[in-house]
Amino acid sequence: MVKVSVIMPVYNAADYLEESINGILNQTLKDLELICVDDGSVDNSLEILKKFEAEDDRVKVFHQENRGGGAARNVAITHATGEYLYCMDADDMINNDALQELYDIITEKDVDFVVFQAMNYDDEKDKYYHDRFYDMNELADFVGEKIFNYKDLGDYIFQISVTPWCKIYNLDFVKRSGAQFAEGLIFHDNIFFWDILFQAERIYFHRKFLYTRRRHITSSTGAGDRRYLSYITICNMIWDIFRKHGHFYEYLRGLGIRKTNKVFHWYNYIQDEYKEEYFQAMKEDYEKIAEDNELFDKLYEALTDKGKLIMDNTLKSANHEEFDYNFENYLLKEENKALKRQNEELKEEHVLLFNSTSWKITKPLRSIMRIFKKE
């Protein structure tokens, strides 16, 4: 049995694939296997994979018709034979000693999985940058060096990045959990993560950046295409997982934020040609919730002010143009209110200044200064 099974879904990743694979094969931890599943690539990704498979017996390559990254990961897990499982994306980068470091930690701590930090890299600007979602500093401050599980976290469960590549898992635990990645959808890692989280008894946070996530326009979450509609479906699947584990109403506020604020976030990033379709999917989703009066009332009460605005505006708008107009109009009104408040505050400060003792005492001096200015 190898120490770590690394699984890698591959779809049209030829530009970055060799760098990512070499990042695994050149790890200081040599006792590993790399399981690559080509998900119907139409570039030369499969050719590159076959070359590595021929050169290194640690590489195992499988091919399937295009079914999405989630399906590719599910297939890869069935072929994994290691003690531990690590998920690598085909366009990202990992520190040279990351797997050895993570293997040492997970064996020493004897946990179900270890969470660690990740950096972002903008491929077009050649720039590294931090992201609160992958830094997870609030979570790190909260848990410290303790072994924990979801029961210890409260709403901090929403501070853990759902991505699989910032975690190393006990493979036996993963297989026993029955957790699966959503298939045919982007954002598929959400489903795997939440199912795993509620079943894990021992988790450890390793406060170190070991992974670099590459951002580029062709990535599934960077393209802004019709696939963004997946997020609405994924939200409903997340709700089902919380219900399955008996925690739906306990975490309704966090779930509501995803149903409103996060759904709106992806609405803003989707290409204009898909906005109407996305809006109508939002509206239909909220209307279904509104059919259950008890659920709607509890959800609405739990929402943030922004979430309430998003839901109200969606339900009363007929199309995305009306939705955008109403939202912009609301923002302008709020901006005007803020400016009026600022104006009133300045008036109050002005009155206080003119009535102040120091202003009255310095009046003769100001008169003299005006005389000098005239001369």
Is 188 found in the same domain as 103? yes
* Residue 189, CA distances (Å) to 58, 163, 365 in order: 25, 6, 71
Domain count of the fold of the chain: 3
Is the CB of residue 224 less than 8 Å from the CB of residue 116?
A: no
- As given in the structure block, the two tokens for residue 296 are 């709607």
Q: Which of 82, 85, 29, 21 has its CA nearest to residue 47?
A: 21
**pLDDT (0 to 100) of residue 119:** 96
* CATH number where 60 lies: 3.90.550.10
323 within a domain of the structure (yes/no): no
Token reading at 67: 């079914």
Pairing of strands 113-122, 127-129: antiparallel
Cα–Cα distance for residue pair 89/213, rounded to 1 Å: 9
Judge if 344 and 236 occupy the same domain.
no
pLDDT score of 331: 72
Rg (CA), the chain: 27
Q: Are residues 202 and 238 in the same domain?
A: no
How many Å apart are CA 164 and CA 73, to the nearest integer?
A: 10
The answer to whether the CB of 123 falls within 8 A of the CB of 216 is yes
Please state, in angstroms and rounded to a whole number, the distance separating the CA atoms of residues 6 and 86: 5
Q: Which of 180, 204, 223 is the last residue of a domain?
A: 223
Residues 213, 243, single domain; the answer is: no
Q: For each successive 10 residues of the chain (375 residues), what is the average pLDDT?
A: 97 97 98 98 98 98 96 98 98 97 98 98 92 96 98 96 97 98 96 98 98 76 80 97 98 96 95 96 97 97 95 96 89 60 60 56 55 49
Domain span holding position 344: 330-374
Other C-beta atoms within 10 Å of 336: how many? 10
> Within a domain: residue 117?
yes
Q: Do 125 and 187 belong together in one domain?
A: yes
Q: Does the residue 210 lie in any domain?
A: yes
Name the domain boundary from 223, 250, 281: 223
Chain length of the chain: 375
Q: Do 138 and 15 share a structural domain?
A: yes
- Asked if residue 240 is part of any domain, the answer here is yes
The answer to whether residue 95 is domain-embedded is yes
Which of 171, 201, 223 terminates a domain? The answer is 223
**Are residue 94 and residue 140 in the same domain, yes or no?**
yes
Say which amino acid occupies 146.
Answer: K
337 with 281, same domain: the answer is no
Note whether 196 and 56 are same-domain residues: yes
Pair 7, 35: CB distance under 8 Å:
yes
H helices then E strands: how many in the chain? 17, 9
Residue 324: inside a domain, yes or no?
no
In a domain, 325, yes or no: no
Residues 255 and 209 reside in one and the same domain: no
In contact, 282 and 232? CB cutoff 8 Å:
yes
H helices within 199-272, ranges in order? 230-244, 252-257, 263-269
Distance CA 116, CA 207 (A): 6
The pLDDT assigned to 8 comes to 98
Residue 322 domain-assigned (yes or no):
no
Same domain (yes/no): 70, 212: yes
Q: Give the Cα separation of 315 and 283 in Å (integer).
A: 6
Q: Are residues 130 and 266 in the same domain?
A: no
